[in-house]
Structure 1
Amino acid sequence: MAKKESAARLGKGLSAIFGEDVTNVLEDIQQGKTEVHEDSKFEVDVKDVHPNPYQPRKTFDEGKIKELADSIRLHGVFTPILVKKAVKGYELIAGERRLRASKEAGLKKIPAILMDFDDQQMMEIALLENVQREDLNAIEEAVGYEKLIKKLGYTQEELAKRIGKSREYVANMLRLLKLPPVVQTHVVNQELSMGHVRALLGLKDEKLMEEVAQKAIQLHLSVRAVETMVKNINEPKEKPETKPKDIHLGQVEKRLQTRFQTKVKVDAKHISIAYNGNDDLNRLLELLGGLDEEL
């Protein structure tokens, strides 16, 4: 299959492969299962290959990169990377782990296949490949969706169809970008689950989000516990209204406190007189003996 024919399978906004597995399509090209023109195959200087500017994945497992680098030192690179011509050098389409590992292994050149993709295809490929591999953390995935919506003008529903998800799923992912940066970092570090952050989004104040998130991490709170905390913050329990004290009872209360020199509470049905020890009690009892005469 000629280069243009192989690219056509991915062309026109990738419409030819939506609903299929883009990861397998790219791997077929790289592994030689899909024929490409010999002129498209070449060795490229690793220093001339620039990352895909639309790559949503920002974090890589350094341990796995080093393992791959060790393998490359022994056996070389069998599977070529996919690149497209750039203003200076080339932009990477697929094979970032191989490229990073090759640099780690000290290689100067790496096998590559030259493809002819436009910016829209580059963006869609970068996102779809990672989503289908489940390589992205939740924040990276959300950022990728936001870029597709802003750059390519997709609606949430159109994007959902393209990535094989529900519109509700896309909407929930995009809501993650409303989280404060500190909380987003907790998500990336897998300290908070999607359930936790969905509950946190119920708070309007970013400072409160950060405080509740920190407490959830420190106390290992369940999603239900965080939901309860958020609910209590948003709907504080109303304190029961205290009825104003009857003026007459208040006057009686003051007279008794003056007479007994101790704290006295008077309500509609009770009189409470505080005392401190037996001597104080005896003092009050003596006073109570003459209370009727003096009041």
Structure 2
Amino acid sequence: MTRRRSLTLKKGRDTEAALESFVINDHYLNTKGQPAWSQSPTLEVSLDRILLPKFQLRLYYDREKIEQIKATIQAVGIREPLLLRPAQGKDQYFELIAGSQRRLAAEELGQKLLPVKVDEVDDFTALKVAIIENEARSDINPFERTRGIVQLLSTGLEMSRDEVTQILTSLFNAENRQSDNNVIINDEQRKFVLCVFEEMGLNWKSFVANKLQLLKLPEDVAAFLESGKISYTKAIRIARVKDEAIRQELLQRVISEELTVQQVQSLITDFSSKKTSNNELVLRDRARLVLKKATSPKLLKDKRIRKKVESLTSQLETLVLEYESSS
């Protein structure tokens, strides 16, 4: 695996150019063993020949950000070329690796030709560059980032994302001396995983302990998030709602009413208050019914039951007195 230095770019006016230089010249190798895109000329390619990758790192596009990019394109054009690779099995078509927001902004502006650099890179390198390119701009949310890292490991290890999650969990448990006999990890796999985290500038233990859980969102919320219908900040709030029917209503209203994060939180609070009120009504009804039955003459003739009712009544009286004295 090709090694690289940690990505530490300062945000500012030259971030775009600095990032492009970093990605192209920092020893990411193409399929010929040469630095990827470093010798590639800038070309103009028709937008309709640029295909999105099978695994899309970015799931949600922030409209404000897209509008900013559109304004920049209208003012000075696309300053840095998109990074592409030839599409597999489609002659004269290309797969997008870096520049999805620029592509979308250009498409909305009706631009037909985009500046690009094209080179042959494998699946692992393509995804790694995509993650780094987005990470440098702080453009992807924690869910997208976590999902991308797991997919990167999945690509490199040639196993499913579920299997990668199991391996990471087993490594973590072994490190913390917790028993885990479900997954057998060979030394080569272990070295590969640790090397990837080192190259990406991530602490693998912190990732497993704090980030993997983000992939365990309820299926309905995850489906909306992965389809790009809602933002991560809205999804993470809705995911905390345990009632599936309420989650479904929230998800639908977020789309149909274009709710803000604050409005989503307000709705969740309202639903919670209504549920609490309903629970209180149910409890009062239960208490009345039980009290009516417990004080029936027929039931109280039983000495054992009468003694129990007296004891429970005393406990209730104590609770009421304590509440009244503290109010």
TM-score, structure 2 normalization: 0.51
Is the 8 Å Cα contact of residues 60 and 231 (structure 2) preserved in structure 1? no
Higher CA-based Rg: 1
Where 1:84 maps in the other structure, the secondary structure is: strand
In structure 2, the partner of 1:121 is 125
Quote the RMSD (CA, aligned, Å).
4.5
Aligned residue runs from structure 1 range 81-230, under 5 A: 81-86=82-87, 87-88=89-90, 89-153=93-157, 156=168, 158=194, 159-171=196-208, 172-184=210-222, 188-191=231-234, 208=242, 210=244, 218-219=268-269
Is the 8 Å Cα contact of residues 66 and 104 (structure 1) preserved in structure 2? no
Give 1:16's aligned amino acid: R
The alignment status of 1:254 with 2:304, answered yes or no, reads no
Instruction: Pick closer, same or farther for the CA change 1:24–1:53 going to 2, 3 Å.
Output: farther
Aligned length: 213
Where 1:106 maps in the other structure, the secondary structure is: coil
Is the 8 Å Cα contact of residues 3 and 199 (structure 2) preserved in structure 1? no
Where 2:131 maps in the other structure, the secondary structure is: helix
Instruction: Pick closer, same or farther for the CA change 1:135–1:77 going to 2, 3 Å.
Output: closer
Instruction: Pick closer, same or farther for the CA change 1:161–1:71 going to 2, 3 Å.
Output: closer
Q: CA deviation at 1:60?
A: 0.8
Counterparts of 1:65 and 1:165 in 2: how far apart (Å)?
Answer: 28
Q: CA deviation at 1:74?
A: 4.0
Give 2:79's aligned amino acid: F
Give 1:190's aligned amino acid: T
Counterparts of 1:266 and 1:66 in 2: how far apart (Å)?
Answer: 74
In structure 2, the partner of 1:281 is none
Is the 8 Å Cα contact of residues 85 and 95 (structure 2) preserved in structure 1? yes
Is the 8 Å Cα contact of residues 52 and 91 (structure 1) preserved in structure 2? yes
Counterparts of 1:122 and 1:114 in 2: how far apart (Å)?
Answer: 12
In structure 2, the partner of 1:260 is none
Is the 8 Å Cα contact of residues 30 and 82 (structure 1) preserved in structure 2? no
Counterparts of 2:246 and 2:205 in 1: how far apart (Å)?
Answer: 25
In structure 2, the partner of 1:16 is 3
Q: CA deviation at 1:115?
A: 2.5
Is the 8 Å Cα contact of residues 30 and 79 (structure 1) preserved in structure 2? no
Counterparts of 2:302 and 2:4 in 1: how far apart (Å)?
Answer: 90
Where 1:20 maps in the other structure, the secondary structure is: coil
Q: CA deviation at 1:44?
A: 1.0
Counterparts of 2:232 and 2:156 in 1: how far apart (Å)?
Answer: 30
Counterparts of 2:134 and 2:148 in 1: how far apart (Å)?
Answer: 10
Q: CA deviation at 1:176?
A: 2.3
Where 1:116 maps in the other structure, the secondary structure is: coil
TM-score, structure 1 normalization: 0.56
Is the 8 Å Cα contact of residues 26 and 94 (structure 1) preserved in structure 2? no
In structure 2, the partner of 1:48 is 49
**Superimposed CA distance per residue, residues 16-45 of structure 1 (whole angstroms, 9 cap, x where no aligned partner):** 32423498764226899x9944x6221111
**Superimposed CA distance per residue, residues 189-222 of structure 1 (whole angstroms, 9 cap, x where no aligned partner):** 414769x97xx6xxxxxx947589889872399x
Q: CA deviation at 1:104?
A: 1.4
**Superimposed CA distance per residue, residues 86-127 of structure 1 (whole angstroms, 9 cap, x where no aligned partner):** 233111221222211111111111111223321110011112
Q: Which shows bigger deviation, 59-68 or 150-159?
A: 150-159
**Superimposed CA distance per residue, residues 105-161 of structure 1 (whole angstroms, 9 cap, x where no aligned partner):** 111111112233211100111123223432222322232122123221276452432
Counterparts of 1:42 and 1:68 in 2: how far apart (Å)?
Answer: 21
Give 1:125's aligned amino acid: V
Counterparts of 2:307 and 2:98 in 1: how far apart (Å)?
Answer: 82
Is the 8 Å Cα contact of residues 160 and 170 (structure 1) preserved in structure 2? no
Is the 8 Å Cα contact of residues 97 and 127 (structure 2) preserved in structure 1? no
Q: CA deviation at 1:54?
A: 3.4
Counterparts of 1:255 and 1:190 in 2: how far apart (Å)?
Answer: 59
Give 1:17's aligned amino acid: R
Is the 8 Å Cα contact of residues 52 and 93 (structure 1) preserved in structure 2? yes
Where 2:117 maps in the other structure, the secondary structure is: strand
